[in-house]
Amino acid sequence: DQQVKQNSPSLSVQEGRISILNCDYTNSMFDYFLWYKKYPAEGPTFLISISSIKDKNEDGRFTVFLNKSAKHLSLHIVPSQPGDSAVYFCAASPSAGAQKLVFGQGTRLTINP
């Protein structure tokens, strides 16, 4: 049972435009959500997170939006840069203090010059 889903395996975006990566979840007990970026031959790198008590969190070019009623979150990257090309994972944490992350399958983002 896939509790965190990223339905788009890949996404291609022109440099300078907005990249929007989507993630859906089914478990209403999740209370913290994170995005990770992964380059080949490296471990995932933490990007940005959001608590379930917020609906938006911004960090530079990266913004995460959370819609709890729809159980949906998205990551916006503006403007997209070639170095953003990577696999992006959405992850969710069930209950306070739990270190167990549930990951989506990942979306491969390609930024075209």
Partner 1 sequence: KAGVTQTPRYLIKTRGQQVTLSCSPISGHRSVSWYQQTPGQGLQFLFEYFSETQRNKGNFPGRFSGRQFSNSRSEMNVSTLELGDSALYLCASSTEGHTYEQYFGPGTRLTVT
In the complex, the residues that contact partner 1 under the rule CB under 8 A are 32, 34, 36, 41-46, 49, 89, 91, 93, 97-106
Q: Three-state DSSP class for 82? A: helix
Tell the burial category of 42 from Cβ atoms under 10 Å away from its Cβ (0-12, 13-18, 19+): exposed
Which CB, 34 or 77, lies closer to partner 1?
34
Give the separation between CA 39 and CA 30, rounded to whole angstroms: 26
What single-letter amino acid sits at 59?
D
Which CB, 25 or 36, lies closer to partner 1?
36
Which CB, 83 or 97, lies closer to partner 1?
97
In the complex, the smallest distance separating the C-beta of residue 72 from partner 1, rounded to whole angstroms, is: 19
